Structure 1
Amino acid sequence: MSTSRLAALAQSLASLRRADFERLGKKWGLRGLAVVNVVCAVHLFAEHVGFIHVVSGPSMLPTMSAAGEVVFENRMVSPKSLKRGDLVTYISPLDPTRVVCKRLIGLPGDIICVDPTGRLAPSTEHVVIPKGHVWFIGDNAEMSRDSRQYGPVSMGLIRGKLMAKVWPPTAAGFFRNNFVDIGVEGSEV
């Protein structure tokens, strides 16, 4: 075989390998982009639409188990659309690395008894919730760190509203707003 034929064969093998590598690189590059797209979509969904969370701790007994339950959080909720009695997630004013869940009981302008149990403050002490703030309390007041300790919470810390329990299956279902407004004498309820 002549040297020119060997050179041509070597060149065609080299170009074949280069084409295979380019095709393989393109294939894996496109797969990598697909993975990045999925991760971005999941992140955007979790940050702006809703997400599944594990909630645990004794502060929301009996509404939620202290051992932990899996819940769906709706993130498409405007803080101004929340109502008294809603289960709300927000960034803890005491520890900004934690997200907590409590029941909203006071809206801007409401007059709230600081601690109806009388344990942390006299039951005669009241506060007016300032504009742009809300008041939270755990369903199990004895085991809850909430607005009774840190006062009104800025609406800017609100992340979402809990909509439903999804796990365990025996407890699955939507959260109901069971808040009863006793009103003020002479007002309609």
Structure 2
Amino acid sequence: MNAEFNKELKSWIIALISALVFVFICRNFIFTPVKVVGQSMQPTYENQDRIIVSKVGQIKHFDTIVFHSPIEKEDYIKRVIGLPDDTIEIQDDALYINGHKYDEPYLQEKKKHLLPNQKLTENLKIKVPKGHIFVLGDNRQKSTDSRQLGCISEEAVIGKAILRFYPVIENY
């Protein structure tokens, strides 16, 4: 009976260690949970939302990413507007990437509340350097982003937001 118990115990220990190694690998190399702090991505993400960030895959225009802030010891969540070598221009609240105009449907809710002749985003023009990305918050009037921080190093990127798991949004 003692040998049988030892065999069962060994089996449980191997299973537990395997599970811990699997969690460690997933969390450090594949995905990680993140808590949204602040209102810079409203209405896409609200303060205290919990999201899953994928650490694999290529970053594209308009992806929502999490990155290490270059000025604070915290992580920020923002939307990728410009990739390396892109020319970004915002003119009268219209976004141009390399001369092509793009719609930003995630800004429509905020634009509804603007006063006449008020702009959501100030005019700007920038060339994104190699190895960097240009990011903006969806809540442009309350976001610390590349307009203040400058372009973000690709090395600072943790990953892209792929799923909100809390709060669970139900459609009735």
Q: Normalising by structure 1, report the TM-score.
A: 0.63
Match of 1:159 in 2: 158
SS of aligned partner of 2:163: strand
Match of 2:70 in 1: 93
Higher normalized contact order (CA 8 Å, seq sep 6+, divided by chain length) = 2
Alpha-carbon deviation of 1:61?
0.5
SS of aligned partner of 2:148: helix
Aligned residue pairs total 145
In 2, Cα distance between the equivalents of 1:115 and 1:141?
14
Match of 1:38 in 2: 19
Match of 1:141 in 2: 140
Deviations 1:124-166 (A, max 9, x none): x422101111001111112211111111111111111111212
Alpha-carbon deviation of 1:94?
1.2
Map 1:13-92; keep pairs closer than 5 Å.
31-32=12-13, 34-66=15-47, 68-77=48-57, 81-92=58-69
Q: Relative to 1, partners in 2 of residues 1:171 and 1:151: Cα closer, same or farther, differing over 3 Å? A: farther
In 2, Cα distance between the equivalents of 1:114 and 1:133?
19
Instruction: Please identify which structure carries the higher strand content.
Output: 2
Q: Normalising by structure 2, report the TM-score.
A: 0.69
SS of aligned partner of 2:161: strand
In the alignment, structure 1 segments of 5+ residues that lack a partner are: 1-19, 173-189
Deviations 1:54-99 (A, max 9, x none): 2231010010112x2121211112xxx322111011111112x322
SS of aligned partner of 1:37: helix
In the alignment, structure 2 segments of 5+ residues that lack a partner are: 94-117
CA RMSD of aligned residues (A): 3.2
**Is the contact between residue 112 and residue 129 of structure 1 (CA under 8 Å) also seen in structure 2?**
yes
In 1, Cα distance between the equivalents of 2:91 and 2:145?
10
SS of aligned partner of 1:53: strand
Match of 2:115 in 1: none
Aligned-partner residue type, residue 109 of structure 1: D
Match of 2:109 in 1: none
**Is the contact between residue 115 and residue 148 of structure 1 (CA under 8 Å) also seen in structure 2?**
no
**Is the contact between residue 114 and residue 148 of structure 1 (CA under 8 Å) also seen in structure 2?**
no
Deviations 1:4-46 (A, max 9, x none): xxxxxxxxxxxxxxxx7x9988876765554343222111101
SS of aligned partner of 1:42: helix
Say which of 64, 77, 80 aligns to 1:104: 80
% same residue? 26
Q: Which has the larger radius of gyration?
A: 1
Instruction: Please identify which structure carries the higher helix content.
Output: 1
SS of aligned partner of 2:80: strand
